[in-house]
Chain A
Amino acid sequence: MTLDVRARIQRYIRIAVGSDINDEDDIFELGLVDSLFALELVTFVESEFGVVAEKEDLDICNFCSIAALVAFVEARCQNDEDAGRTWTSD
């Protein structure tokens, strides 16, 4: 699952920023994307991984790098599994 999540997030982000970036790079700090991209990322993880970003999740720390997004999606999926919800990746 981790590999799949990471690969899909890497692909999306790399297409968006148009360059080869490291997983830890903060795409907002580096000025690679504008502020509207944060909203796009929320919808991306929700639609791509079937997770729901709750109000308390809407913190830029969860969306600022590939690594942060992977951690966020995995944590959310884990929560959903713990709560007995099914998770579909597509």
Chain B
Amino acid sequence: MDIRLTDSQRAYRETARQFTARELAPWAARIDREGVTPPSVLNVIRGCGFLGAALPQDKGGGGIDEVSYGILTEEVGRVCSSTRSLMTVHNMSAQAIARFGDHEQQERWLPDLCSGRKVVAFALSEPEVGSAADAIETKATSDGNAFRVSGTKKWITYGLIADLFVVFAKLEGAPIALVVDRDSEGLRIEPVTDIFGVRGSMLAQLHFDEVRVRKERQLGRVGMGIRFVANVALDHGRFSVAWGSTGIIQACLDACVAYSEQRRQAGRRLKDFQLIRRQLANMLVDHTASRALCYRSACLRQRRAPQATMETSLAKYHASMAAIRAATNAVHMHGANGCSGEYPVDRYLRDATVSGIVEGTHEIHQLALASYALRRPYLD
């Protein structure tokens, strides 16, 4: 596998780096501290083209290749996981609309989602349902040319500001996916506050009380809501979280290199202690390995290889675990300073922890990857 970047990918990385340094880095600590993404930052993200970067060009998206999208996500994730999570949920939900929406649905929603005029969130989880998504309790009943939707969705990333939601419900026991407007009658949106990591991601709980959703807003077929629509979206989400986690590892390494060069104990710089150097080496290995798995996943996705889904799961599982490991060691290396909020490493640890839960916990990926391990050698 050749993972040399093309000139345009390199240029894209440079643009993303400059953008994140200028527009996100000055805000990242505050977004985390205050648990909110300020409207000015949201406007910048909406307007800069990142939200629609990977969406179809004929609908106004950037249509960039998988590696470029990964690089973009890594760069944003390196600086601010909250805004990275906005890109994740918006892209995964919009990709589901692009894949499963009919012509009319695509024309109705995609141009606004590509341009960032509208933001879409992903509403699958519920207070009592997480990993076992097939068991969702939100119900849809048929009512003429519409469905009536009732139930509760929880932990919805950027649900507080989203204009649209891709919502999963059961119609007579069969999962369906619906695109629901924020201002639908009977939909109440309340904040979920004090979250441990990605604290600026403006989580919401959505209460649906007999919300009327026209049938023309259904994505895909009845019964395929989770197996196809949600899974396609989650596959995009995992790709994004994998790259975002790789960005966190890079951020940990950057912070630790800087700190170990500056901090002195017993008359020596930290970087001169062998045990500190071991940690730097481990972080470097974790970053390189995670990035290599992300590139592999990107290349397989680009050529639409069958194993791309599982290799994306593999990349997400590895990168999120490695990010937690790197961030834990980064906090340790910073000593008390690492626990103080004066340095960014405690944020990295909290954000990395969330990466290990969203789009499938470690355990859920372990289960899937174990099955893959049993057959993978034959497919490669």
Mask, B92-110, CB within 8 Å of A = 1, is: 0000000111100000000
Interface size class of A (residues with CB under 8 A): 20 to 34
Residues of B within 8 Å of A47, CB to CB, are 303-306
Mask, B139-179, CB within 8 Å of A = 1, is: 00000000000000000000000000000000000000000
**Is there an interface contact between B379 and A39, defined as CB atoms closer than 8 Å?**
no
With beta carbons under 8 angstroms apart, the residue of B102, B223, B309, B367 that contacts A39 is: B309
**Is there an interface contact between A36 and B220, defined as CB atoms closer than 8 Å?**
no
User: Which residue on A lies nearest to B360, using beta carbons?
Assistant: A36
**Is there an interface contact between A39 and B224, defined as CB atoms closer than 8 Å?**
no
Residues of B within 8 Å of A46, CB to CB, are 304
How far does the alpha carbon of A8 sit from the alpha carbon of B235 in the complex, in Å?
A: 26
**Is there an interface contact between A43 and B308, defined as CB atoms closer than 8 Å?**
yes
Instruction: Let me know if B259 is at the binding interface, CB within 8 A.
Output: no
Interface size class of B (residues with CB under 8 A): 20 to 34
Residues of B within 8 Å of A36, CB to CB, are 231, 235, 309-310, 313, 368
Instruction: Let me know if A15 is at the binding interface, CB within 8 A.
Output: yes
Instruction: Let me know if B30 is at the binding interface, CB within 8 A.
Output: no
**Is there an interface contact between A34 and B221, defined as CB atoms closer than 8 Å?**
no
State whether A56 and B228 are in contact (beta carbons under 8 Å apart), knowing that A18-B374, A40-B309, A46-B304 are contacts in the complex: no
Highest count of chain A CB atoms <10 Å: which of B99, B220, B227? B227
How far does the alpha carbon of A48 sit from the alpha carbon of B306 in the complex, in Å?
A: 9
**Is there an interface contact between A34 and B308, defined as CB atoms closer than 8 Å?**
no
How far does the alpha carbon of A87 sit from the alpha carbon of B228 in the complex, in Å?
A: 26
**Is there an interface contact between B375 and A15, defined as CB atoms closer than 8 Å?**
yes
Q: Distance in Å from the Cβ of A74 to the closest Cβ of chain B?
A: 19
Number of A-B residue pairs having CB atoms within 8 Å of each other in the complex: 65
Residues of B within 8 Å of A38, CB to CB, are 227-228, 231
Mask, B201-222, CB within 8 Å of A = 1, is: 0000000000000000000110
B contacts with A: majority SS: helix
Q: Distance in Å from the Cβ of A89 to the closest Cβ of chain B?
A: 16
**Is there an interface contact between A39 and B305, defined as CB atoms closer than 8 Å?**
no
Instruction: Let me know if B371 is at the binding interface, CB within 8 A.
Output: yes
Query: Using a CB-CB cutoff of 8 Å, which residues 212-261 of chain B contact chain A?
Result: 220-221, 223-224, 226-228, 231-232, 235
Instruction: Let me know if B307 is at the binding interface, CB within 8 A.
Output: yes
Instruction: Let me know if A7 is at the binding interface, CB within 8 A.
Output: no
Query: Using a CB-CB cutoff of 8 Å, which residues 40-61 of chain A contact chain B?
Result: 40-41, 43-44, 46-48, 55-56, 58-60
With beta carbons under 8 angstroms apart, the residue of A16, A17, A41, A60 that contacts B223 is: A60
Instruction: Let me know if A33 is at the binding interface, CB within 8 A.
Output: yes
**Is there an interface contact between A35 and B226, defined as CB atoms closer than 8 Å?**
yes
**Is there an interface contact between B304 and A43, defined as CB atoms closer than 8 Å?**
yes
Residues of B within 8 Å of A35, CB to CB, are 134, 226-227, 231
**Is there an interface contact between B375 and A34, defined as CB atoms closer than 8 Å?**
no
**Is there an interface contact between A39 and B221, defined as CB atoms closer than 8 Å?**
no
Q: Distance in Å from the Cβ of B39 to the closest Cβ of chain A?
A: 36
**Is there an interface contact between A15 and B231, defined as CB atoms closer than 8 Å?**
no
Highest count of chain B CB atoms <10 Å: which of A15, A33, A55, A60? A55
Query: Using a CB-CB cutoff of 8 Å, which residues 9-37 of chain A contact chain B?
Result: 15-18, 33-36
With A15-B375, A34-B367 given, can you name 19 additional A-B contacts, CB distance below 8 Å? A16-B375, A18-B374, A36-B235, A36-B309, A36-B310, A38-B227, A40-B307, A40-B310, A43-B305, A43-B306, A47-B305, A47-B306, A55-B101, A55-B102, A58-B100, A58-B224, A59-B221, A60-B224, A60-B228
B residues neighboring A (CB under 8 Å): 99-102, 134, 220-221, 223-224, 226-228, 231-232, 235, 303-310, 313, 367-368, 371, 374-375, 378-379
**Which A-B residue pairs are the 10 nearest by beta carbons?**
A44-B306, A15-B378, A43-B306, A58-B228, A39-B309, A40-B306, A16-B375, A40-B309, A59-B221, A38-B227
